[in-house]
């Protein structure tokens, strides 16, 4: 699989934000192997909710790698941030940079980076970042 998910991690390192990272590349590869082997249909994995597609178009940032399913270049990354101290912003979608900054400054917050293809509706969790301490 040519795609990697290095971009957000590199950004976090650059900012020296105190974030723990979980990479979902292996889970994604397993799913893509399942598609290639006929275990899952394209319809089963390209099932992004219309709201997710809309968010990807308006808030998503280019992933700089092609969609693993349709090879389109419109693969985008979004950040969903959850945390008790976020109050009204809990569970909202953000641009990557903002989502990571928000996570780094809220104790116990988590940022889930999702990749979404606006061409075929492929979507998968890319990485999760967790605040280690409050900023």
| Residue pair 127/21 in contact by the 8 Å Cβ criterion | yes
Nearer to Zn ion (CB atom), residue 112 or residue 122 = 122
Asked if 119 touches Zn ion (CB under 5 A), the answer is yes
Q: How far is CA 113 from CA 7, 34, 40, 134, in A?
A: 11, 22, 23, 20
Q: How many residues does the chain have?
A: 135
Q: Which is nearer to Zn ion, 15 or 72 (CB)?
A: 72
Q: Name residues contacting Zn ion, limited to 13-72 (CB under 5 A).
A: 67, 69-70, 72
Among 120, 123, 124, 126, binds Zn ion (CB under 5 A): 120
Whole-number Å distance between alpha carbons of 65 and 46: 17
Residues binding Zn ion (CB under 5 A): 67, 69-70, 72, 117, 119-120, 122
């Amino acid at each position: 699989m040519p795609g990697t998910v290095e971009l957000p991690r590199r950004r976090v390192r650059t900012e020296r934000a105190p974030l723990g990272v979980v990479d979902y590349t292996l889970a994604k590869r397993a799913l893509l192997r399942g598609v290639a082997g006929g275990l899952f249909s394209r319809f089963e994995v390209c099932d992004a909710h219309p709201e997710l597609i809309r968010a990807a178009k308006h808030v998503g940032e280019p992933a700089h790698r092609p969609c693993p399913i349709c090879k389109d270049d419109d693969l985008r990354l979004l950040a969903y941030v959850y945390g008790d101290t976020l109050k009204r912003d809990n569970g909202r979608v953000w641009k990557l940079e903002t989502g990571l900054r928000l996570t780094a400054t809220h104790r116990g917050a988590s940022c889930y980076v999702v990749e979404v293809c606006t061409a075929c509706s492929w979507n998968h969790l890319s990485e999760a970042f967790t605040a280690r301490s409050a900023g």
